[in-house]
Amino acid sequence: MVSPVVTGYYRYTDIFFEWHQALPNPEDRGPLKALLAQDAFMHPDHPLRKDGVEGAELYLGTLQNFESRLLFSSAQVEYLRYWLHAMQLTKILYLFRTRTQIEKNNKRLKGVDPTLNARRDIFERVRSLWAQQQGTWCALDFEAWDRDHTLLTEFGWSTVRWDHGSKIEEQGHLIVKERRYYTNTFVSNNRDRFSFGKSEEVNKATFKQRIQALIEDLKKSGPLFLIFHDNNQDIKYLKSKDVDVQLPDVVFLLPDVLPKDGIFVLDTSDLFAALEGEGGGNRRSLERICRHLQIPTAHLHNAGNDAHYTMLALMSMASGEPIDMQRERRWPNRTSTNTSAPNAPLNGAGIRVHFDPWEEEDEFSDQEGVCGPAVDISQFRAESDDETH
């Protein structure tokens, strides 16, 4: 019996922006990216070019949301892999290992709930958009008096944009003058401990004008990506009477292709949930996420500091490898399947990171966070005493 020929398809953007990152040797990445560049397809010596056709022949596919995408066939991908190896431009073993890892991860993803799948999709879209180094990315944070959350006391921002390939970063912090002496009861009072510049004390009217002007200015440089940590409250603050930023066309669903303009919302709590394999409603704090990403923090609950740490968390995840490779690099061999109920759906258990108690608990000191939990050495002393008798 003849086996049927099965053809798969890969999105062009996924291969162009991600595959080269899987090659461990940086010298091998250039040839792969050059081979996949759009201009290269027009060259008469390109391996995918057909006689009598100007350029390479790709495929047009329609996604479940009815958007169209350029695709490679699996046969084309295999031939490119073979051609790179035959021309001695890279090692075939690297791409084989990558494909094997992808197949392994796909098996572990069986039974993943829709929420986690959606978060994983957002994670990869963020990586793809970030890699293009376009638009403006701005992390925002507000602080309010903890006895009345309608009284805003601080605003902080941290932006990243690119000018001819050079990354430009800016940070800022505003304090509301009329509410300077509103002291928190349940949250740390760190408004005067901005670590990334000089704080500005302004009145309520200027506070409102400065934030409005900031958003309007950022919108002029192409698409604007607003980054929050658990965005629900901060979006409300932006729309409140104390700020009154107009966001009529804000979009919470990231595009698959970089747009020319528009405002899009990202949430680092969702991105980290995707990375650790969390599909439920458990949103980690900014401090906990930075701890797991190994980003040192100080004086949290200062709006300027929180905005910058949110940006650092975004950059750490967005500039890393594809989600499953990044998870394994950060926390190797820390996932497991659900062995307590073998016949039950996995629901993402195969990609859920299991952190040790000392990584999760706030009671452990900073030294314990680096070196692990404290060890009771009395048991070793007892064993040593037994050996001497």
Element (H, E) at 379: helix 378-388
Other C-beta atoms closer than 10 Å to the C-beta of 99 total: 14
Q: Residue 365's pLDDT band (boundaries 50, 70, 90)?
A: very low
Considering only CA atoms, give the Rg of the chain.
25
Element (H, E) at 325: helix 323-330
pLDDT in tens, 9-18: 888 887 777 7
Does the structure show a pLDDT above 70 at 35? Answer: yes
pLDDT of residue 349: 52
Looking at the chain, the whole-number percentage of residues with pLDDT higher than 90 is 46
88-92, 219-223, 250-254: least confidently modelled range:
88-92
Task: Give 326's contacts (C-beta < 8 A, 6+ positions apart).
Answer: 275, 317, 320
Kindly report the backbone phi and psi dihedral angles of residue 308, in degrees, each rounded to the nearest multiple of 5, phi listed first.
-70, -40
pLDDT in tens, 112-154: 678 888 899 899 999 989 999 999 999 999 999 999 999 999 9
C-alpha to C-alpha distance for 85 and 76, rounded to whole angstroms: 14
263, 250 in Cβ contact below 8 A? yes
Q: Which residues of 233-257 are buried (b: 16+ CB within 10 A; e: fewer)?
A: ebbebbeeebbebeeeebeeebebe
pLDDT in tens, 250-306: 999 898 888 899 999 999 999 999 999 998 888 899 999 999 999 999 999 999 999
pLDDT of residue 364: 46
What mean pLDDT comes out for the span 321-337? 86
Contacts of 352-358 with C-beta under 8 Å, sequence gap 24+, read 352/276, 352/277, 352/278, 353/275, 353/276, 353/277, 353/327, 355/292, 355/331
Does the structure show a pLDDT above 80 at 156? Answer: yes
Average pLDDT of every residue of the chain: 81
327, 354 in Cβ contact below 8 A? no
C-alpha to C-alpha distance for 288 and 308, rounded to whole angstroms: 15
Bigger pLDDT: 248 vs 182: 182
The pTM is what?
Answer: 0.70
Torsion over CA: 16, 21, 22, 28 (sign): positive
Q: Are strands 136-144 and 224-228 parallel, antiparallel or unpaired?
A: parallel
The residue count of the chain comes to 389
Token readout for 318 is: 């967005």
pLDDT in tens, 62-80: 766 666 778 888 888 888 8
